[in-house]
C-alpha cells in the first residue's frame, strides 16, 4: 500500500531533482550505485555502534535514490532491462545491509541474541518475499497479491523506529523500546506476506495448469466454455 501511494507522491516531488542530475550528465546507473553505497554505509557503520538516529538520517538521504534513478531513466527515455535488473538487485543488497546492521548491534553491544535472531529473520524473509513474486512472474503467473508488509512497509517501520530509538542517546527515556517492537512487527508481517504470496502462486499455478489442456484440445466441444469460465474466475480473484 505504501509502495503504491508514497512512490507516486515522492516521484512527483523528486522529478525536478532528477532532471537536474540529467542536465549535469549523471547517469541513472550511477545514482543507483551511489544510493546503495550510501545506504550500506549508514547501516553497517552507524547501526552496529548503536548510532540509530544518525544512521537513519544517512540511510533516508540515500534511499530516495531508488526513486530518482527510475525517474531519470524515464525522463531521458533510456529505460532498459539492465537498469531494472540493477535497481532490483541492489535494492536487495541495501535491504540486507539495514537488517544486518541491526543484527550486528544486537550480537555485539546490544547484547540480545533473541533480537539478533529476529533481525536476521527480517533480513532473510524480506529476500524470500521478493523472490516469491519474482519467481512466480518468471514462470508466467501474475502473482496478483501485494501482501501485508512489502518492501516500503519494511523500510518505513524499521527506519522510523530506529530513528526514534536513536533519540535515546539524546536523553529521551524509554524510547529505545521502539526498535525491538518494530523488528517483531516486520518479522511477523513478512511471514504473513510470504504465506500470502505462496498461497497465491499455488492457486494461480493450479488455475494455469488446469486451463492448459483445455486450451490445446480442439476436439472437446465444451472446452472453450470451460476455459472461458476459468479465465473469468481467475480475473475475478485478482
pLDDT tens profile 73-126? 888 888 888 988 999 999 999 999 999 999 999 999 999 999 999 999 999 999
Query: pLDDT band for position 227 (50/70/90)?
Result: very low
Catalytic residues: 91
Within a 13 Å sphere around the CA of 14, how many CA atoms are in the beta-carbon half?
A: 22
Query: pLDDT band for position 230 (50/70/90)?
Result: very low
Of 215 and 213, more confident: 213
Coarse DSSP helix, strand, coil percentages of the chain, rounded to the nearest 5 percent: 85, 0, 15
Query: pLDDT band for position 3 (50/70/90)?
Result: low
Inform me whether the pLDDT recorded for 215 exceeds 60: no
Inform me whether the pLDDT recorded for 150 exceeds 80: yes
Q: In the prediction, which pLDDT does 228 show?
A: 40
Query: pLDDT band for position 223 (50/70/90)?
Result: very low
Q: In the prediction, which pLDDT does 2 show?
A: 53
Q: In the prediction, which pLDDT does 42 show?
A: 96
Q: In the prediction, which pLDDT does 63 show?
A: 87
Cα–Cα dist 94/63, whole Å? 9
Of 232 and 3, more confident: 3
Inform me whether the pLDDT recorded for 134 exceeds 70: yes
Cα–Cα dist 56/166, whole Å? 9
Q: What is the mean predicted confidence (pLDDT) over 133-143?
A: 93
> The cell 521478493 sits on which residue?
130
Amino acid at each position: 500500500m505504501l509502495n503504491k501511494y508514497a512512490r507516486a507522491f515522492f516521484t512527483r516531488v523528486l522529478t525536478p531533482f532528477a532532471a537536474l542530475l540529467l542536465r549535469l550528465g549523471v547517469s541513472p546507473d550511477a545514482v543507483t550505485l551511489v544510493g546503495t553505497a550510501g545506504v550500506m554505509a549508514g547501516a553497517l557503520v552507524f547501526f552496529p555502534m548503536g548510532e540509530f538516529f544518525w544512521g537513519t538520517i544517512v540511510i533516508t538521504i540515500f534511499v530516495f535514490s531508488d526513486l530518482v534513478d527510475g525517474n531519470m531513466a524515464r525522463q531521458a527515455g533510456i529505460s532498459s532491462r539492465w537498469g531494472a535488473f540493477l535497481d532490483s538487485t541492489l535494492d536487495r543488497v541495501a535491504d540486507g545491509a539495514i537488517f544486518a546492521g541491526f543484527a550486528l548491534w544486537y550480537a555485539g553491544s546490544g547484547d540480545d541474541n533473541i533480537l539478533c535472531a529476529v533481525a536476521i529473520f527480517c533480513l532473510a524473509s524480506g529476500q524470500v518475499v521478493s523472490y516469491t513474486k519474482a519467481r512466480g512472474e518468471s514462470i508466467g503467473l501474475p502473482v496478483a497479491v501485494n501482501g501485508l508488509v512489502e518492501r516500503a512497509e519494511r523500510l518505513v517501520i524499521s527506519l522510523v523506529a530506529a530513528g526514534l530509538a536513536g533519540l535515546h542517546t539524546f536523553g529521551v527515556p524509554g524510547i529505545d523500546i521502539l526498535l525491538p517492537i518494530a523488528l517483531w512487527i516486520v518479522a511477523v508481517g513478512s511471514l504473513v506476506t510470504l504465506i500470502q504470496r505462496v498461497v497465491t502462486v499455488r492457486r494461480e499455478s493450479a488455475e494455469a495448469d488446469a486451463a492448459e489442456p483445455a486450451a490445446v484440445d480442439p476436439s472437446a466441444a465444451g472446452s472453450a466454455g470451460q476455459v472461458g469460465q476459468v479465465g473469468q474466475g481467475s480475473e475475478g480473484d485478482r
